Structure 1
Amino acid sequence: MVFAPAPRLTVTIDQPSDEVEIHLHPGGQGVWQARMITSLGTPVTLCAALGGEIGKVLEPLLSSEGVDLKVIHRESSSGGYVHDNRSAEPAEIADVPGHPLSRHELDELYNLALGEGLRARVSVLSGPGEPSLVPDDIYRRLTADLGANGSLVVADLSGGHLRAVLESGVHFLKISHEELIREGRADDDSDEELTRALYELHASGAESVVVSHAERPSLALVDGQVFEVSMPRLQVADPHGAGDSMTAGVAAVLAAGGDLATAIRTGTAAGALNVTRHGYGTGRPDSIAGLVDRVRLTPLGSGRQDRLTPDQLAGRTARP
């Protein structure tokens, strides 16, 4: 189950040849994750709230993604944006975040996601483009209720939504090094700082964590050990969307009963392949499979830090 509370309509203007093209797609973190999970052959139930004229356009577009779409219809409008990609530097023409969900709409969406999540082995919690659209407490409660009833909760969140899922305890967390620095969880992007942040996130409620690191190898905390996750570098066509594809690859493998190491390797391969393409959450499954064996998880360092338990390290390095 992918919880995508506020999908957006994306309108892009492009000109790959002589003629101008206009493309309409459903967008947002949860949509891109669901697209990649589906590409990897795992069935997806997508839970979302849609409303207004934009919502009427989004619903058939989402259904065409090959997901089992479950929707609550809201009175206020969904959001969207228009981008002009005809130049080397894409221009934003308009960006409408949408309206916050009402209390009744939140109750309906919560019940929908909870019911579908309880039938799924894995539940992926994604965030809205504008955090204020959905309260933090929805994520806290959903994480607690799903986790307590056997669903493996995978999260790719930041800010208050991240703090909310950590409070309830999350099975797997993906976060970028930029988010760690922006939120004050790491002072810089050194391995030492990111490793400390990994252990602090574990101590706060994340069972396993991966920190993506742009073009550098990711870092993963699995069973108390930090690993460097590396693979051959590929030429980049579009750097956007790699993190969402990574989260999706992890979720797809876990949903099929795979182990976490294989899940991280698959997620890394999916994210790496995504940047060779134009389009978020896209990639040929056979190409991803061909890259998985090239991903390496190598224990990071051999110093005293590696001999400490996660709780010991978190206790010694936690911020006051």
Structure 2
Amino acid sequence: MSATPRVLTVTPNPALDLTVHAGGWQRGAVNAAQGAQQDAGGKGVNVAAILADWGVPVAATGLLGRDNAAPFETLFREKGVTDEFVRVPGATRVGLKLVDPTLGDTTDLNLPGLTVSARALAHLQATLRSQPAGVGAVALCGSLPPGVHAGFYAEEVARLRGQGRFVALDTSGEALRAALQAEVLPQLVKPNIHELEAALGRSLTTDAEVLAAARDLIRRGAELVAVSQGERGALLVTAQEALFARPPRVTVQSTVGAGDAMVAGLISAHLDGLSLAGAARRATAFSAGSITRLGAHLPPRAELDALAAQVQVDAAQPLTH
């Protein structure tokens, strides 16, 4: 895309996703696979690819190993994503995705990633600080590699919000915990239910507890909390509303990147000024559409519109199972 990027995605720990299709595979046994493919991945890379498919001018940055950067460069070129990744010595990690089509589930094996030098991290921070005013939204995505402290996202959220940018955060573990404990929260927080439980250090066993946890984050400064719950759907909470979006049934090719597609949908809905119900429909349609494809790709708009029309959106006060 030739237009100035409106969105920047940040992926400090990208991965080459090796997706292996093995129906009925058994742990500890010799298994036959039906096929495999390798895609440039990582949460922010996926978000950028999905936004580009929707027609949003987008740039992507992060830390990318020089030794195997070619698949990422190819993806960015094909999608029209502006490549602002910082190149570092070594090879970007490989993430193994074992897909069982018979069960419709995916098992992830993620390596830790390259150890980041202070120089490389400073280069990435300089890239973030030099973004033009036209970049109105920044998505901080995925895990942090070795060498990057757990408070990195929390610090960047405060700085980016101070610049007047809309900040979305999709991470897990200690990085999410630190960001949710910080004084300044992102405007958009999108954990799945398990990530939210881990970050808060407690189980959320009822819908009322999930809703209360989301509302607490809203009180502390977030503007939209979206808690994804797999096939069941997602809870979306603002200061004014709480909705639950239930996706339509689709034929699953791979669930890899479904949450990233939801983040992309929520960001595009923000850019377009959609209502919460409209955002819920778009984000759920993006997520449902993405799992009908291998890799981070959206279906055609007509198909997405049809999916959005099938999304069931209900008030959550509290939700019912």
Q: Taking structure 1 as the reference length, what is the TM-score of the superposition?
A: 0.80
Specify the alignment match of 2:311 in structure 1: 295
1:123 shift after superposition: 1.0
RMSD of aligned alpha carbons: 3.3
Specify the alignment match of 1:199 in structure 2: 215
Structure 1: distance between partners of 2:78 and 2:109: 25
1:129-155, CA deviations, whole angstroms, 9 ceiling, x for partnerless residues?
x65453233212221121112211111
1:124 shift after superposition: 0.9
Please tell me whether the aligned partners of residues 118 and 150 of structure 1 are also in contact (alpha carbons under 8 angstroms). no
Distance of aligned partners of 1:162 and 1:203 in 2 relative to their CA distance in 1, 3 Å threshold: farther
Specify the alignment match of 1:9 in structure 2: 16
Structure 1: distance between partners of 2:242 and 2:187: 16
Please tell me whether the aligned partners of residues 9 and 59 of structure 2 are also in contact (alpha carbons under 8 angstroms). yes
1:156-175, CA deviations, whole angstroms, 9 ceiling, x for partnerless residues?
12223223433222111111
Corresponding residue SS for 2:135: coil
Specify the alignment match of 2:125 in structure 1: 110
1:177 shift after superposition: 1.1
Corresponding residue SS for 1:60: helix
Specify the alignment match of 2:194 in structure 1: 178
2:274 matches 1:267: no
Amino acid at match of 1:8: A
Percent identity for Structure 1 against Structure 2: 26
Amino acid at match of 1:248: A
1:196 shift after superposition: 1.8
1:43 shift after superposition: 1.3
Please tell me whether the aligned partners of residues 42 and 255 of structure 1 are also in contact (alpha carbons under 8 angstroms). no
Distance of aligned partners of 1:136 and 1:260 in 2 relative to their CA distance in 1, 3 Å threshold: farther
Structure 1: distance between partners of 2:259 and 2:127: 26
Structure 2: distance between partners of 1:91 and 1:215: 13
1:85-132, CA deviations, whole angstroms, 9 ceiling, x for partnerless residues?
69969999996532221111111101212323743121111023x654
Could you tell me which of 141, 147, 151 is aligned with 1:126? 141
Distance of aligned partners of 1:169 and 1:183 in 2 relative to their CA distance in 1, 3 Å threshold: closer
Please tell me whether the aligned partners of residues 218 and 239 of structure 2 are also in contact (alpha carbons under 8 angstroms). no
2:161 matches 1:154: no
2:42 matches 1:35: no
Please tell me whether the aligned partners of residues 117 and 151 of structure 1 are also in contact (alpha carbons under 8 angstroms). no
Please tell me whether the aligned partners of residues 211 and 219 of structure 1 are also in contact (alpha carbons under 8 angstroms). yes
Distance of aligned partners of 1:300 and 1:136 in 2 relative to their CA distance in 1, 3 Å threshold: same
Could you tell me which of 215, 231, 234 is aligned with 2:231? 215
Structure 2: distance between partners of 1:49 and 1:266: 30
Number of residue pairs matched?
Answer: 300
Distance of aligned partners of 1:63 and 1:213 in 2 relative to their CA distance in 1, 3 Å threshold: same
Corresponding residue SS for 2:69: helix
1:81 shift after superposition: 3.6
Please tell me whether the aligned partners of residues 186 and 193 of structure 1 are also in contact (alpha carbons under 8 angstroms). no
Written as runs of structure 1 = structure 2, the 5 A alignment for 1:5-154 is: 5-12=12-19, 23-81=37-95, 96-116=111-131, 118-128=133-143, 132=146, 134-154=148-168
Corresponding residue SS for 1:105: helix
Structure 1: distance between partners of 2:66 and 2:135: 30
Distance of aligned partners of 1:176 and 1:95 in 2 relative to their CA distance in 1, 3 Å threshold: closer
Please tell me whether the aligned partners of residues 207 and 318 of structure 2 are also in contact (alpha carbons under 8 angstroms). no
Structure 1: distance between partners of 2:211 and 2:294: 32
Please tell me whether the aligned partners of residues 181 and 189 of structure 1 are also in contact (alpha carbons under 8 angstroms). no
2:283 matches 1:276: no
Please tell me whether the aligned partners of residues 250 and 260 of structure 1 are also in contact (alpha carbons under 8 angstroms). no
Amino acid at match of 1:44: V
2:206 matches 1:190: yes
Corresponding residue SS for 2:131: helix
Is the helix fraction higher in 1 or 2?
A: 1
Corresponding residue SS for 1:170: coil
Please tell me whether the aligned partners of residues 262 and 284 of structure 2 are also in contact (alpha carbons under 8 angstroms). yes
Task: Structure 2: state its 5+ residue gaps.
Answer: 1-7, 24-32
Amino acid at match of 2:207: D
Structure 2: distance between partners of 1:93 and 1:277: 17
Amino acid at match of 1:213: Q
Structure 2: distance between partners of 1:255 and 1:206: 17
1:45 shift after superposition: 0.5
Corresponding residue SS for 2:151: helix
Specify the alignment match of 2:243 in structure 1: 227
